[in-house]
Amino acid sequence: MEIKISPVVTNDELNTLFADAWNNHSSRDFGPILTHSLLYVCAYIEGQVVGFVNFAWDGGVHAFLLDTTVHPVFQHRGIGLQMVRMGIDAARRHGIEWIHVDYEPLLHEFYTQCGFTPTSAGLVNLK
């Protein structure tokens, strides 16, 4: 396995990963998302993208972890943990002071292992 920070990655590669990992994924253009990211992390096995995590940011000292995804065949092998930790280290080198993540309760243990501490937060659903 190889993990890379902000590699050149195509829409086809990411859409294939997301279609395999997420129910009801609709193909999208990742270009604008990646252009505005602080960084993103991809995991590869035999040249295939099997993992992705995006570190969006506010242009200052806060980053936001989004779209943590590992192909279902490769889950529970530590790939997600390695990607998040590598991204956190890279964000630190970029001067980021705080990284925020929202997650469902079933992911609590995973994000705790990544170093996150639960906090209170608010959410407005605009749908």
Q: What does CATH list as the number for 2-113?
A: 3.40.630.30
Strand order in the sheet with 48-57: 2-5, 37-45, 48-57, 62-70, 98-101
- Per domain, the residue ranges of the chain are 2-113
pLDDT at 121: 83
pLDDT at 1: 95
pLDDT at 77: 97
pTM above 0.85, yes or no: yes
Q: Chunked in runs of 10, what are the mean pLDDT values of the chain (127 residues)?
A: 97 98 96 95 97 96 96 97 98 96 94 93 85
Say whether 76 sits in a helix, a strand or coil. Answer: coil
Rg (CA), the chain: 14
pLDDT at 122: 83
